[in-house]
């Protein structure tokens, strides 16, 4: 718990930091999620990152549910892309999606409408045994 509080203070206390972070819970395991809630942040996503921690992710937040499509252009590490509806239930997943090495990059589209999309380190969904219908605790509206 102490580590969680220190991390939250660190992320929220950076002077001039434009990025916002929240703690989400996947099966009672805390993940520090960077929020992508503007078009600019959603376009950039996790591009150019050479690694991410096992307890880190990026949460894409949209105003309403819709079919979502992601690609891995300029993404350097494999990611799990998890699509969630307004009830925070997993409606689709693309696991261990590899970086795109050349154009055109394939798109990874949700099978059902999603309001949230969570990107975490590739292989994490399998390690956590996530499945369609599981809920993820996301403390935002």
pLDDT above 70: residue 125: yes
Q: How much is the pLDDT for 19?
A: 81
> 80 vs 38, 46, 96, CA distance in Å?
21, 12, 5
pLDDT band at 105, cuts 50/70/90?
A: very high
118 token code pair = 């969570």
> In terms of DSSP H, where are the helices of the chain?
2-12, 39-44, 124-127
**Residue boundaries of the structural domains of the chain:** 24-127
Q: Which of 80, 33, 86 is nearest to 56 (CA)?
A: 33
pLDDT digits (tens, 9 = 90+) for 15-56: 334 789 999 999 999 999 999 989 999 999 999 999 999 999
CATH architecture under which domain 24-127 falls: Sandwich (2.60)
Q: How much is the pLDDT for 66?
A: 98
Q: How much is the pLDDT for 52?
A: 94
Contact predicate 62/115, CB 8 Å? yes
Cβ-based neighbours of 2, under 8 Å, separated by 6 or more: none
Query: End-to-end alpha-carbon separation of the chain, Å?
Result: 24
What is the residue whose two structure tokens read 């990874």?
108
β-pairing verdict for 29-36 and 79-84? unpaired
């Amino acid at each position: 718990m102490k580590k969680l509080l220190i991390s939250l203070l660190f992320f929220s206390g950076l002077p001039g930091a434009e990025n916002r972070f929240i703690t989400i819970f996947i099966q009672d395991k805390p993940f520090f999620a960077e929020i992508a809630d503007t078009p600019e942040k959603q376009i950039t996503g996790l591009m150019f990152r050479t690694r991410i921690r096992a307890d880190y992710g990026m949460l894409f937040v949209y105003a309403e549910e819709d079919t979502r499509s992601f690609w891995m252009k300029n993404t350097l590490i494999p990611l799990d892309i998890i699509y969630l509806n307004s009830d925070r239930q997993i409606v689709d997943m693309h696991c261990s999606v590899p970086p795109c090495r050349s154009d055109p990059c394939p798109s990874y589209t949700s099978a059902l409408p999603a309001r949230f999309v969570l990107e975490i380190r590739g292989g994490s969904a399998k390690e956590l045994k996530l499945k369609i219908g599981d809920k993820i605790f996301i403390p935002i509206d």
